[in-house]
Amino acid sequence: MLLVAAAVVVLVAAVVVLQEAPAPQLPEPVVAVPDIVVATDPEPIAPPPPEPVSEPVAEPAITPPIGPQLVDDKALMEALSEYGFDKLERRWRDWARARGYPMTDASGQMYYDQPYEQYDNLTLKGLADNGDMWAAQILANRIAKDNPAEALELFRTAAARGSVYAMNEISALYARISNDSRDVEFKSDDKALEQVFAMRDSPVDPLVSSYAWNVVGTMSGSEPMFGDMNAGQIEGRMSEEQVEEACTLAQGLYDELSAKRDSLGLGGFDRSPPPMVYADSSRQPRCGYDFATGMSLESCREMAIKSGDEEATVWLCDE
């Protein structure tokens, strides 16, 4: 589950150190005023023809330099306060909740429009079958250890409804299934272990599926920082051939979800960015799909951060 408040602190800490230097003040233009000539002849003298007026030459635009400024913790908190931490956190919550991430308020209560956690599994299943994204993924989390195969199907239902969180959960569940040291999680039910062993013996390695679903989340507009962390952990266990297979699979899964959304009249995924996007410039795009491909960053301001040998890029995105 994405911890939005923590993510805000991490991402804001990476970016608010950037301050725009004030634009240099240009000197006021000096306008030459011609002397006034007074005629001494009693007869009026016709004034000379006016000088042709030349078009003013536009001054070249001056772009204020943008660069990192190192600040201490106190200055950072002051910058956060000026930026508006409450507004930033609210926007993060709204952005994440629209993509299926479970959100809580200050008291720990979930932001649901129904008391899903009080419903039994049968009620949740009925709601999920009728297209309720939240019911599908809540039920999937409940039964993942006892019935991982059905949990994966429920997560896919939520993913088609726009839940990037569900895509991430599919990736995480496949990763656990692929790791035999995690078998203890599924030992509560013989059926669960049978499903796990069957998935490991299937033509597509569950680790490949895990990586593919991580890429699908990227293509659908997931938060890049956490997607990168998860992808790095998965990729470290894969061969180059498996990564290539996962990339091909990811495109097929994305096309399948897109077709499902079209059939439901939902259109494309909402790929608008969160209020702040942070990316380590040392990482490589996954399957050619990085956050710039998966998000609409046209209205965002791009800034570079460099600290020693470390480089990163931050996008600040307006509402």
pLDDT digits (tens, 9 = 90+) for 162-185: 999 999 999 999 999 999 999 988
Q: Is the pLDDT of residue 31 over 60?
A: no
Select from 283, 253, 257 the least CA-distant residue to 268.
257
pLDDT band at 49 (very low <50, low <70, confident <90, very high): low
Contact 217, 239 (CB under 8 A): no
Q: What is the mean predicted confidence (pLDDT) over 75-87?
A: 64
For residue 223, the SS3 value is coil
HEC readout, 106-128: CCCCECCCCCHHHCCHHHHHHHH
Kindly give, in sequence order, each residue whose CB lies less than 8 Å from that of residue 68, ignoring residues fewer than 6 positions away. 17, 18, 304, 305, 306, 307
Alpha-carbon distance of 36 to 177, in angstroms, equals 93
The pTM for the full model equals 0.75
Q: What percent of the chain has pLDDT over 70?
A: 68
Q: What is the pLDDT of residues 240-283, one digit of tens each?
A: 999 999 999 999 999 999 999 999 999 999 989 888 787 765 66
Higher pLDDT, 162 or 233: 162
Q: What percent of the chain has pLDDT over 90?
A: 44
Nearest 5°: CA angle at 134, between 131 and 137? 95
What is d(CA 137, CA 151) in angstroms, rounded to the nearest whole number?
8
